[in-house]
């Protein structure tokens, strides 16, 4: 029961609290380590999502996009990760800003990460709307020839079986339809572990972000390499 309650709290706080004050927590040892040099011509990954990408209540450089960028380059996969995360975004809000975001990238992204849907669930929006919006977002990436890795979300258990049965399949269904990569549940590496949370015990801290990076780095690197090859 504690894990279920924490799961619900994690989703609520990590995806919807966009106006909370900045944390003054010190950077983790990983976040303060010297970053590997990024080649000027490194392919671009666009991280398009909500506060889980935006780096909620973390110091600059501690969020998922910059830590993923550092890990990829340190691991021998040149990449520049652009943070296009906006705290509080629903799939509808993200769809509205997608064209503007893509049109204003100095370099066309070679790969996109899409992490959305938690705020839809927390606001009780119909899963059918979430599905339609994600479908439209992925269709736009398809139209522009930008492959995608989806980082998935799960419904909080207290929303009931009916909602869960309509909500949870959205990500695997969309990944299959659009031939996208899929991380089934983005928050899995930090779920239930208070040592990986900020002081409020609901948001991933810098160490928690590192755990998420470690769990997703290989998949993102593989998707990026395939995308680079397809551009040749």
Residue from 114, 44, 109 nearest 77 by CA:
44
Q: 10 Å Cβ neighbour count for 222?
A: 13
Residues 226, 47: Cα–Cα separation, whole Å: 17
| Torsion angle, alpha carbons of 182, 186, 192, 195, to 10 | 130
Q: Which residues are marked as active site?
A: 51, 200, 203
197 has which bridge partners? 204
Instruction: Tell me the CB-side half-sphere exposure of residue 2, using CA atoms within 13 A.
Output: 4
The answer to whether 140 and 91 are in contact (CB under 8 A) is no
45 has which bridge partners? 81, 111
């Amino acid at each position: 029961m504690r894990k279920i309650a924490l799961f619900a709290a994690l989703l609520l706080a990590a995806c919807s609290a966009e106006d909370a004050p900045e944390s003054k927590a010190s950077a983790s040892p990983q976040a303060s380590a010297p970053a590997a040099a990024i080649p000027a011509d490194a392919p671009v990954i666009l991280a398009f999502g909500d506060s889980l990408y935006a780096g909620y209540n973390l110091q600059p450089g501690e969020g998922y996009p910059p830590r993923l960028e550092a890990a990829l380059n340190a691991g021998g996969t040149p990449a520049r990760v652009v943070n296009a995360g906006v705290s509080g975004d629903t799939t509808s809000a993200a769809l509205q800003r997608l064209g503007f975001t893509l049109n204003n990238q100095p370099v066309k992204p070679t790969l996109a990460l899409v992490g959305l849907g938690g705020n839809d669930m927390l606001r009780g929006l119909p899963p059918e709307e979430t599905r339609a919006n994600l479908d439209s977002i992925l269709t736009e990436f398809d139209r522009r020839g930008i492959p995608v890795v989806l980082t998935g979300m799960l419904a909080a258990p207290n929303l009931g079986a009916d909602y869960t049965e309509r909500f949870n399949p959205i990500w695997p269904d969309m990944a299959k339809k659009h031939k996208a990569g899929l991380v089934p549940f983005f928050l899995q590496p930090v779920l239930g572990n208070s040592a990986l949370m900020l002081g409020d015990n609901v948001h991933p801290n810098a160490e928690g972000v590192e755990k998420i990076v470690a769990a997703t780095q290989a998949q993102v690197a593989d998707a990026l390499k395939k995308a680079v090859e397809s551009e040749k």
